[in-house]
Amino acid sequence: MPSVSEQFLVEQIQTPVGPLLMISDQKGVLRVLEFHDMKDGWHPHIEKRFAGAKMTESPGAFGHAKTLARYFDGDIEAIDDIPTDGQGTEFQRAVWKALRTIPAGATLSYGALAKQIGKPAAVRAVGLANGANPIAIVVPCHRVIGSDGSLTGYGGGLERKRWLLAHEAKNAGEGLFKKVKRS
């Protein structure tokens, strides 16, 4: 948990899927990227994890907004190098790290993700960790789907999830629900 003396840089950016609230630390590590109109999603996270920390508006800090703009312009792999730290439990961090290995334009089921992190019986826990992800899009929880290929819950709403997957599939040159092959 951040100390009260830490300072965080805050920026709101406009995107084709709505406004995003972005919070980075002073080293440029992205800590939060949430849909700004989904207050139930980001507000409790910020209050809990950043209680007492100094927040400073800082448009353009570290170039993350420009990188996200490139993603929305079709360079879907542009976001892969943005450093992140969602400050979760060890299990959540393992899930979030695995999410970043799902290639843009591809999807993976919760069960396959559980197997990938070495916890094949933890499908429900993987789902909960996926839902607790505080860094939308960059930590691509939207790329996780049901075992039958169906779109399942997404904190930003299923329409956004559908848009993000279609955007990535279009710009990856592959079909919308290309499966990631894992052995």
CA separation for the pair 13, 80 (Å, rounded) = 18
Residue of 109, 13, 5 lying closest to 57 (CA atoms): 13
98 and 135 co-located in one domain: yes
Beta carbons within 8 Å of 64's beta carbon, 6+ residues apart: 11, 22, 24, 28, 30, 82
- Domain at 68, CATH number: 3.30.160.70
How confident is residue 147, by pLDDT bands cut at 50, 70 and 90?
Answer: confident
Structure confidence at residue 157 (pLDDT): 87
Whether residue 96 sits in one domain with residue 77: no
pLDDT band at 62 (very low <50, low <70, confident <90, very high): confident
Range of the domain at 166: 90-179
* Last-in-domain residue among 46, 81, 116: 81
Domain ends where: 81, 111, 135? Answer: 81
Please write the tens of the pLDDT for every residue from 107-120: 999 999 999 999 99
Domain limit, last residue, from 81, 107, 125: 81
- pTM for the whole structure: 0.85
**Tally of domains within the chain:** 2
pLDDT of residue 125: 96
Average pLDDT over residues 146-161: 88
| pLDDT mean across residues, the chain | 86
Which of 54-63, 112-121, 140-149, 162-171 has the least mean pLDDT? 54-63
Q: Does residue 2 lie in a domain region? A: no
**Spatial CA neighbour of 104 closest among 64, 72, 62:** 72
Report d(CA 160, CA 22) in Å as an integer: 17
Residue 137 lies in a domain: yes
DSSP H or E stretch at residue 20 = strand 20-25
User: Looking at residue 84, what DSSP letter applies?
Assistant: B
Q: What is the mean pLDDT of residues 2-13?
A: 76
Q: Is residue 1 part of a domain?
A: no
Catalytic residues: 141
